[in-house]
């Protein structure tokens, strides 16, 4: 194989002439853009401990009134990508958001897709397109692209949740913007996860005749997800990962166009090698404590911690408790990779 030519090999006057016309030779940097076999990844395997985040977020509650923040958030930024890049992985934005009793995070809508995953406290809610969605610990709330959403808090004590957005992608393609709106009238309808889409395998009969809806189900209560994992585990083989995908019940596919969500149960004392995937990934600990190895980096996680891994990573997860299961929530960018036709899983661990 011939080595590619370098920039330095080219005469200075030639390079200056190119620059003058906004031109670049491709060959000196071709291998940066097209490495052989596996992408170049700057994303670091990284852990954000809830014990570190929580006091700083509560302090933000004292330092910055909600009116001066709109959303009171600390961003979980991946140091491998540079903190200024404001992303946990190349495509996934993560933040921890605090809302205090009586506060309101005003109504708006925007092009990036978002989700909230409730971490601590009770009494907060999100209203999405007039549907009031309670946020109990572990609940997943979707705020799909361009839909109105606002948050409030009717309980006592701080409420904290994890935000995940496809903001890095939407911003990088210069398509991210938002519109502010008046507070939404709440329509007199219980949230649909408690009514129309109560059980997997059952749909409102009229849904069979209607066009499939993009976002029929906006809240996935953790109590149901946890119970489903425990039930599913009974039918899984000993080495099969106990992992369930959150889906759109009308299409059977992922519930947002860009990001995918799943819940994982690690049986008591279990260690699982996840198949290597082309998607980048984030894990948030709902219950339990254990370890992870991501591309050789060791991570020790406990409840409410969050950790991230790059695309194409070798990931092992271990539950350190030999008596109780551990539960993780996960976000990945598989849906956007699928829509680009590049999503892959690999049978073999990555070669060093």
**Contacts with ligand 1HN, residue ranges (CB under 6 A):** 71, 73, 95, 97, 105, 110, 114, 149, 151, 163, 165, 167
Q: Which is nearer to ligand 1HN, 124 or 317 (CB)?
A: 124
Please provide the DSSP assignment of 198-232 as one string: -STT---GGGGTSPPPS-S--EE-HHHHHHHHHHH
Q: How far is the CB of 114 from ligand 1HN (least distance, A)?
A: 6
Q: Which is nearer to ligand 1HN, 108 or 267 (CB)?
A: 108
- Rounded Cα distance, 215 and 59, in Å: 36
Q: How far is the CB of 164 from ligand 1HN (least distance, A)?
A: 9
Q: How far is the CB of 62 from ligand 1HN (least distance, A)?
A: 20
Q: How far is the CB of 242 from ligand 1HN (least distance, A)?
A: 30
Q: How far is the CB of 190 from ligand 1HN (least distance, A)?
A: 22
**C-beta nearest to ligand 1HN: residue:** 71
Please provide the DSSP assignment of 127-167 as one string: EETTEEEE--TT-EEEE-TT--EEEEE-SSS-EEEEEEE-H
Report helix, strand or coil for 93: strand
Q: Which is nearer to ligand 1HN, 105 or 242 (CB)?
A: 105
- Rounded Cα distance, 44 and 92, in Å: 13
Q: How far is the CB of 93 from ligand 1HN (least distance, A)?
A: 6
Q: Which is nearer to ligand 1HN, 71 or 132 (CB)?
A: 71
Sequence-ordered alpha helix ranges (H) in the chain: 12-20, 30-33, 50-63, 167-172, 222-235, 334-339
Q: Which is nearer to ligand 1HN, 163 or 287 (CB)?
A: 163
The percent helix, strand, coil of the chain (3-state, each to 5) is: 20, 30, 50
Q: How far is the CB of 31 from ligand 1HN (least distance, A)?
A: 34
Q: How far is the CB of 168 from ligand 1HN (least distance, A)?
A: 10
Report helix, strand or coil for 272: strand
Place of tokens 């995940």: 164
Q: How far is the CB of 149 from ligand 1HN (least distance, A)?
A: 6
Sheet containing 242-245: give its strands across: 46-48, 306-309, 281-287, 326-332, 260-266, 242-245
Q: Which is nearer to ligand 1HN, 90 or 249 (CB)?
A: 90
Q: Which is nearer to ligand 1HN, 15 or 171 (CB)?
A: 171
Quick one: CA torsion of 226, 220, 162, 325, rounded to 10 degrees? 10
Q: What is the CA radius of gyration of the chain?
A: 22
- Rounded Cα distance, 96 and 123, in Å: 17
Q: Cα 320 vs. chain centroid, distance in angstroms?
A: 24
How many distinct helices (H) and strands (E) make up the chain?
Answer: 6, 23
Q: Which is nearer to ligand 1HN, 85 or 326 (CB)?
A: 85
- Rounded Cα distance, 242 and 228, in Å: 10
Q: Which is nearer to ligand 1HN, 160 or 167 (CB)?
A: 167
């Amino acid at each position: 194989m011939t080595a590619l030519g370098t920039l330095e090999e080219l005469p200075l006057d030639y390079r200056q002439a190119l620059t003058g016309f906004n031109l670049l030779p491709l060959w000196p940097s071709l291998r940066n853009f097209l490495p052989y076999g596996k992408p170049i990844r700057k994303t670091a395997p990284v852990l954000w401990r809830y014990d570190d985040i929580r006091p700083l977020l509560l302090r933000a509650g004292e330092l910055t009134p909600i009116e001066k923040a709109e959303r009171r958030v600390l961003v979980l930024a991946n140091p491998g990508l540079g903190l200024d890049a404001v992303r946990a992985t190349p495509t996934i934005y993560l933040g921890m958001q605090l809302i205090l009793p009586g506060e309101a995070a005003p109504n708006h809508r925007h092009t990036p897709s978002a989700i909230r995953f409730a971490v601590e406290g009770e009494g907060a809610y999100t209203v999405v397109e007039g549907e009031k969605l309670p946020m109990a610990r572990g609940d997943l709330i979707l705020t799909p692209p361009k839909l109105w959403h606002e948050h409030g808090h009717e309980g006592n004590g701080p409420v904290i949740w994890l935000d995940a957005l496809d903001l890095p992608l939407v911003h990088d393609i210069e398509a991210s913007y938002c519109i502010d709106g008046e507070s939404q009238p709440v329509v007199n309808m219980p949230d649909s996860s408690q009514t129309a889409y109560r059980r997997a395998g059952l749909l409102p009969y009229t849904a069979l005749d209607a066009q499939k809806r993009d976002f029929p189900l906006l809240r996935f209560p953790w109590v149901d997800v946890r119970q489903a994992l425990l039930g599913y585990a009974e039918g899984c083989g000993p080495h099969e990962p106990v992992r369930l995908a959150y889906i759109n019940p009308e299409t059977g596919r992922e519930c947002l166009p860009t990001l995918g969500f799943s819940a994982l149960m690690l049986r008591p004392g279990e260690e699982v090698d996840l198949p290597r995937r082309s998607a980048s990934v984030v894990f948030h600990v709902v219950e339990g404590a254990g370890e992870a190895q991501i591309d050789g980096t060791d991570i020790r996680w406990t409840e409410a911690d969050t950790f991230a891994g790059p695309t194409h990573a070798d990931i092992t997860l271990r539950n350190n408790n030999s008596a109780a299961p551990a539960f993780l929530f996960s976000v990945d960018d598989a849906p956007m990779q699928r829509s680009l036709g590049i999503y892959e899983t690999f049978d073999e661990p990555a070669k060093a």
